[in-house]
Amino acid sequence: MGRAIGGDPADVARAFEHLPAVVWLLEGPEHIVVAANRAARASVGDLDLIGMPIRLAGKSLPGTRLLDMLDEVYREARTLSVQEPDALVTVRPVIDAYDVVTGLIAQVVVLSDQPPPFRRDEHEVALDLQLAVLPHGLPVLPEISMAAAYLPAGANDAAGGDWFEVVPMPGRRLGLIVGDVVGHGPRASAIMGQLRAIVAERMLLGGELRDVVNALDTFARSAPEARGTTVCVAILDRQSGSLEYCTRGHPPPLVVSSGGETRVLPQPSGPPLAFGEGEFMFAEDVMWPGETIVLYSDGAVERPGRTIVEGIGELAASSAQVVRVNGAGQRSLADRICQGGMRLIERGHAPHDDASLLAVTVLLPVVEPLMMAVPALPEKLTEIRRELGRWLADLRLMEDDLVAVELSVIEAVTNSIEHAYAEPGGTVHIEASLDEVGRLNVRVADTGAWKKPDAEPGFRGRGMLMMRESMDQMRLATTSKGTVVEMSKVVRRPVRTGVTRVAPARDEEADDLRIDRMSLPDSLWLTVSGALDGGSAARLRSALLEAARGGSRLPITLVLDDVTVLGSAGLRVLTEQGRRLGDAGRLLRVVASPSSPAGNVLSISGVDMLLDVRSHA
């Protein structure tokens, strides 16, 4: 405990900032403040402690024993927790690779023996905290398909107890866990975030199942709020299918075969975390290709008037039915099992407890690479986009990742079409593959010689910027044999929750560009839907030119919320026509919500600074 954890830096920073507890990160024997979350900053008012010893805050610090604990923890390299009348104060050492204490993590959770009942707005705050520290997406792996669903408690109950995690581990192993913290609300969310961080740390370092469970148990014994937490932890070998698992006061995993038969895995007896003594039992099984393992919290199988055994039976029956009728292939099984489980929970009543489901299918086929060679012609962009869309659809990515990959590939191909060949007859080669750690790798190559970019590109040149912003890595190499663009991105699958909607797979026809025109007394409206790239941007230019004809001075409102892809060719039309209309005394308003593909591209390209872009009409 106390070592640095891995994970996406943005997600870690967001979780740290919104933890419902005062948290200070301190460095060195003088306990210099190097970071403080929102609650910590608020606790000391206007006092800026970053870069200063925490002792300068004096009595304004929450937790009367906090300052007294710092030197002891730093000296003895052990976690210390003190229960005060109104707060739980915990100080943990930060230990480097040489087992040297380099700093401290100080946390204060404000407690109350009789917390006031949650009002509606407080419930929403607790739910926001819960969702902030739950995974926002799941890994996408070639031989595994997975899905997760989280349904918060009803409006009169406080969210915050359930949590889950999926961690790709060294050696092509996969770590899975579903847990349930005793209690609800902000305190449970804080403990849940700490438990999840411990799991991620141990699994990313390649720890064995026993190491992970023992680390959770050690933490629970030192933190009263974590005592009684139930967990089901499993590690799956993605190559052999071998499975090792352990339950601590938690319902056992469920396995569904490719033919729809179900079995509940034998449950090694083990008490909740921080209870019991001695070694705890672990069990082993084998997952065969086509089988799906389901981990779940007790909220997913508890029913009014039913035993938990009957609830597990209902979940098993629902999962088996999904497998028998599933017509969309193995990669959709896990997601459909989670959907079926959520329907069971929601049927006839609002849940009184959080409910979590985590399903993982071992696949027979791996993801075959996409290989295309097409003529370098603008009219081929639609064909490329559709073939790429079919390949990506099988991966069932998060909408943000799907849009980023589509945009980047189309931009790279557009550059080859526009710059590589002076005469018709050239070819563009596109390759895409998914590697063993869930990273999508793309290669776009041509055999031509790119034109030298203009010294002053004006509105051009934004395609390269968008590719760099949309992908994790992007490299362009030009040789005498041609130009190659290589890009990669770690992609994710969405987590279903009771407050978010998973974007459905797009219909190919929905990508066909459509422009609807409507005249109103105060503006001429153009609503655009579909893909707006090098193969279709000319249609938008024509529509804007047509709208600008005549002597009218009415503004033109362009609605882009239903645009699925906005490429640099579309941006070029928007900027050029926006400037042209402005010179003629006409106003071009662009409507695109920040969360839409068009809104995202307008932001990362900087075009939103050149046009009148609005989030709503």
Instruction: Tell me what pLDDT residue 210 has.
Output: 92
Sequence-separated (6 or more) residues with CB below 8 Å from residue 368: none
pLDDT of residue 2: 40
d(CA 531, CA 382): 9
Predicted local confidence at residue 535, as pLDDT: 78
**What integer pLDDT is reported at residue 246 of this predicted model?**
93
Q: What is the pLDDT of residue 484?
A: 93
Asked if 85 contacts 64 with a C-beta cutoff of 8 angstroms, the reply is no
Give the span between the Cα atoms of 375 and 361, in whole angstroms: 38
Query: Which of the 8 DSSP states describes residue 424?
Result: S
Task: Return the C-alpha torsion angle 369, 374, 380, 386, nearest 10.
Answer: -20
Torsion of CA 31, 36, 39, 42, to 10 degrees: 80
Q: What is the pLDDT of residue 270?
A: 83
207 neighbors 194 (Cβ within 8 angstroms): no
E-assigned strand segments in 326-438 = 355-362, 370-375, 427-434
**pLDDT at 345 (0 to 100):** 81
| Beta carbons of 404 and 491 less than 8 angstroms apart | no
Three-class SS of residue 58? helix
Q: Show the tokens assigned to 565.
A: 């892809």
Q: What is the pLDDT of residue 69?
A: 87
Burial code (b: 16+ CB inside 10 Å, e: under 16) for 158-187 equals bbbbbbbbbbbbeebbbbbbbbbbbbbbbb
**Cβ atoms 153, 354 nearer than 8 A:** yes
DSSP state, 50?
B
Mean pLDDT by 10 residues, the chain (617 residues): 45 68 88 87 74 76 78 86 80 81 86 45 58 80 90 59 90 93 75 88 91 92 88 93 92 91 86 82 90 92 80 92 74 88 74 82 80 91 89 85 90 87 84 91 88 51 81 88 92 74 53 83 86 84 82 83 86 87 86 86 82 82
SS3 call for 229: coil
pLDDT at 7: 45
Residues whose CB falls within 8 Å of the CB of residue 508, separated by 6 or more in sequence, listed in order: 386, 389, 390
pLDDT at 191 (0 to 100): 84
d(CA 119, CA 39): 21
Structural Rg of the chain based on CA atoms: 27
